[in-house]
């Protein structure tokens, strides 16, 4: 899987997360705080990014961790791929078994090099989602 495809997959997950969040409290309420508005603006900017960078990764880690710590009602809607994708502090919210499976997935993606890989099928195979 190319880096562009890998980024594209996670970009779609970020976009879906943003679209979900705008419909949730406190974000859909006119009384949302400045902190809530800033959070949503940062998530929107991430969902509109066209490539990864150090700043993108840092903001992504921050957003995912803030969801877990401040917006627990949204946490179940965050695709686990995003925790792995952003890494860092996000990994603290993943079980050891889950980390092992994502490491296996990354190894298979690395072995594939630039070959076209069906990420969803490969993940389903490793995570035994069949």
Per-residue H/E/C for 74-101: CHHHCCHHHHHHHCHHHHHHCCHHHHHH
- Quick one: pLDDT at residue 130? 67
With H, G, I as helix, E, B as strand and everything else as coil, classify residue 71: coil
For 111, the token pair is 């072995």
- Quick one: pLDDT at residue 33? 97
- Quick one: pLDDT at residue 115? 85
Q: Using CA atoms, how far apart are residues 86 and 81, in angstroms rounded to an integer? A: 9
Place of tokens 């179940």: 76
Q: How many domains in the chain?
A: 1
Q: Using CA atoms, how far apart are residues 112 and 97, in angstroms rounded to an integer? A: 23
- Quick one: pLDDT at residue 84? 97
Listed as ranges, residues in the chain with pLDDT below 50 are none
Q: Which range of residues forms the domain containing residue 43? A: 3-126
Per-chain mean pLDDT for the chain: 94
- Quick one: pLDDT at residue 1? 63
- Quick one: pLDDT at residue 129? 85
Q: Using CA atoms, how far apart are residues 35 and 65, in angstroms rounded to an integer? A: 15
């Amino acid at each position: 899987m190319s880096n562009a495809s890998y980024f594209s997959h996670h970009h779609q997950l970020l976009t879906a997360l943003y679209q979900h969040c705008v419909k949730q409290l406190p974000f859909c309420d006119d009384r949302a705080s400045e902190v809530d508005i800033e959070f949503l603006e940062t998530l929107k900017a991430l969902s509109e990014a066209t490539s990864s960078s150090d700043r993108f990764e840092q903001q992504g880690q921050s957003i995912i961790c803030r969801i877990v710590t401040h917006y627990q009602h949204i946490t179940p809607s965050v695709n686990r791929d995003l925790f792995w994708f952003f890494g860092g502090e996000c990994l603290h919210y993943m079980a050891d078994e889950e980390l092992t499976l994502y490491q296996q997935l990354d190894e298979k993606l690395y072995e594939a090099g630039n070959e076209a890989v069906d990420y969803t099928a490969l993940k389903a195979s490793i995570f035994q989602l069949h």
